[in-house]
Chains A and B, each alone.
Chain A
Amino acid sequence: EVQLVESGGGLVQPGGSLRLSCTASGFIFSSYWMNWVRQAPGKGLEWVANINQDGSDKYYVDSVKGRFTISRDNSLYLQMNSLRAEDTAVYYCARVSHYHMDVWGQGTTVTVSS
């Protein structure tokens, strides 16, 4: 079964850091671009970052540039630094196939609050 499972979410204070992980199974992970997408409480989806198959190309939405870092080895990661209240969201990892996201994880919740 093709599956993505996120982990690493939690409660963190403003200015703090958190590292999210996404573990893939059921497909050749190294063959796909991967996205991180987030959804703030009661809000819509927002594309956050993506990475190519070998990790050499990385792209970010403007609001997280310089604070978040996407990476991968046998799993996908999102290192989040200098966290702000507006980063509070459910974070999903998603497989990218020909410019659409065909497999999604169940999401991990990040709450930034003092």
Chain B
Amino acid sequence: QSALTQPASVSGSPGQSITISCTGTSNDVGSYNFVSWYQQHPGTAPKLMIYEVSKRPSGVSNRFSGSRSGNTASLTISGLQAEDEADYYCCSYAGSSTFVFGTGTKVTVL
């Protein structure tokens, strides 16, 4: 049950694209198509942005996309906007009905 590894911070200018990585193991990210991503603004509850590696819930901008290669999942935000400044967490199903979150990434819009 070790946390998935994410970079502590990622930054970009408005309009640019950024990618956040999420590295797990063959017991979680690498084994299941159940990686999700959550956005959290200060003082608020997390919000689902991506599920099942690359699917977007209704209402989430198509500027957000997800992918996975081996034990590493990624979240890409294209056309970065000021409102995207927030903390982002990946999460993977880890078997036996358990979940594991990533360490979190603070996204700063320069």
Contact = CB atoms under 8 A, between A and B. Distances in A.
B97 A92 contact: no
Contacts of B96: 59
B99 to A, nearest CB: 4
Contacts of A105: 45
Given A45-B38, A61-B1, A102 B48 contact: yes
Interface string A48-70: 00101000010101100000000
Contact of B45 (A33, A47, A98, A107): A107
Interface residues of B, number: 27
Contact of B36 (A50, A59, A62, A101): A101
Interface string A23-50: 0000000000101010000001111001
Nearest to B97: A59
Interface of B: 1, 3, 32, 34, 36, 38, 40, 44-48, 51-52, 57, 89, 91, 93, 96-104
